[in-house]
Amino acid sequence: MATRAAEATTDAEPRRKRKLRGVKQGGMKAYLYLAPTLIVLLVFVYFPIIESFRLSLNRVAPFGSAEIFVGFEHYTRLLQSSEFWNNVLVSVFFMIGTVPIGIALAVGIALLLSYPVRRLAWAHRMLVFVPVVISSAIAGVLFRWLYNPVVGHINTWLGAIGIDGPDWLTSRSTALFAVTVAVVWRQLGFNVIIALAGLQQIDDVYYEAAKVDGASAWHRIRYITLPLLSPTLLFLVVINVIISFQAFGEIDILTQGGPGQATENLVYSVFVDGFVGTRFRGLASAQAFLLAIMVIAVSFIQFRGFRKRVHYG
């Protein structure tokens, strides 16, 4: 007893010290390991949020850096400008055009790919996955060639079956659709990979049980696959909405926002106001801010709306 008590007292002091020192050292060490990542994120992600808001409240001289405080003038001007609402509409149409079609295509293809074929599965996958490594700029270049009104392949093939193809990129009625196709294509590889991974997570037991019960293929998809895939679908919707709002490369290469402003989404408008010709960095920042709020709000609504319907099987 006595010895143990003695041990305890002799031990207690150094242990507490050691522990304190340990936490301190551990803390210091941890922050040393974290420092490179934290510094970059704080300087180039978090600080710019504040700076962006500050810029949006100022008129910045087009050349040079003189600033005049104007309060919320940029925001009120934007909300009253038909140009701004045109850009919002383009962004929204673009989202409606890319997200449902892109995801439906990806899930359909993933369902086919998950069919246990005996050979060549790797080849099918490779062909479908390949756009995943293509940049938005290259996607733009490839489709600009395909859409060429005179010697592009799309109109050549349409001509072969007797259809006189339009001038895709310079006609108001087709330009947005043409850009949409390019973006859906560039995203397809990624979406199929995610959808396929989601499908592989579903336990075969469910399908076998359904088969025993005599459920048709369509019923198995409708009542087993899609509900159990819903977490993956939610992820795809959120990611694709964000990506569609951020579409820039294809627009810059294919149409530069034209004809008129038929394909000028908010990102492109931020770029034009901030970097092309006479620069209005304050106005551009205000648009960037409104865009960010839209993206975050839409993502939030999706999470809320989906939460009740997502089944975590």
Partner 1 sequence: MTAFEPEAVDVLVETNEKKVAAPRRRGELPIQISLFAIGALVALPIVVALFTSVTSLSEILRDPNSVWSPPWTFDNFVTAWTATPFGRFMVNSFIQTGLITIAQVLFSILAAYAFAMFRFPGRNLMFAVVLGSLMVPFELTFIPNFVLISNLGWANTYQGLVIPFLASAFGVFMLRQFFMALPRDLYDAAKIDGATDWYYLWKVVVPLSKGAIAALTIFSFLGAWNQYLWPLVITNEESMRTAQIGIRFFLVNQERATDWGAIMAGATIVMLPTLLVFLVAQKQLVKGIAMSGLKG
| Cα distance between residue 152 and residue 164, in whole Å | 12
Residue 49 CB, shortest distance to partner 1, in Å, is 6
* Secondary-structure percent of the chain, ordered helix, strand, coil, rounded to 5: 75, 0, 20
Q: Contact at 8 Å (CB) between 154 and 177?
A: no
**Which residue lies nearer to partner 1 by CB, 88 or 236?**
236
Q: Which amino acid is at 158?
A: L
Nearer to partner 1, 81 or 156 (CB): 156
- Closest CB 222 distance from partner 1, rounded Å: 20
Nearer to partner 1, 95 or 284 (CB): 284
The C-alpha atoms of residue 58 and residue 52 are separated, in whole angstroms, by 10
The helix (H) or strand (E) run that includes residue 29 is helix 2-41
H or E element that contains 69: strand 67-69
Closest CB to partner 1 among residues 6, 35: 35
CB 81 to partner 1: min, Å: 18
Output 6 or 24, the one with its CB closest to partner 1. 24
Q: Report CA-CA distances (Å) from 301 to 100, 185, 227, 290, 308.
A: 16, 26, 20, 16, 12
Contacts of 170 (CB under 8 A, 6+ apart): 149, 258, 259
In the complex, minimum distance from the CB of residue 129 to partner 1, in angstroms, rounded to a whole number: 7
Single-letter residue type at 246: Q
Rounded Cα distance between 53 and 63, Å, is: 20
Nearest Cα to Cα of residue 75 among 89, 86, 62, 59: 59
Nearest distance in Å: CB 141, partner 1: 5
Whole-number minimum distance, CB 108 to partner 1, in Å? 9
Nearer to partner 1, 12 or 276 (CB): 276
Pick 92 or 138: Cβ nearer partner 1: 138
Q: Are 175 and 259 within 8 A, CB to CB?
A: yes
Task: Tell me the closest approach of the beta carbon of residue 17 to partner 1, in angstroms.
Answer: 18
For residue 5, the minimal CB distance to partner 1 (Å) is 28
Whichever of 75 and 235 has its CB closer to partner 1, that residue is 235
What is the distance between the alpha carbons of residues 230 and 307, in angstroms, rounded to a whole number?
10
The count of other CB atoms within 10 Å of the CB of residue 186 is 25
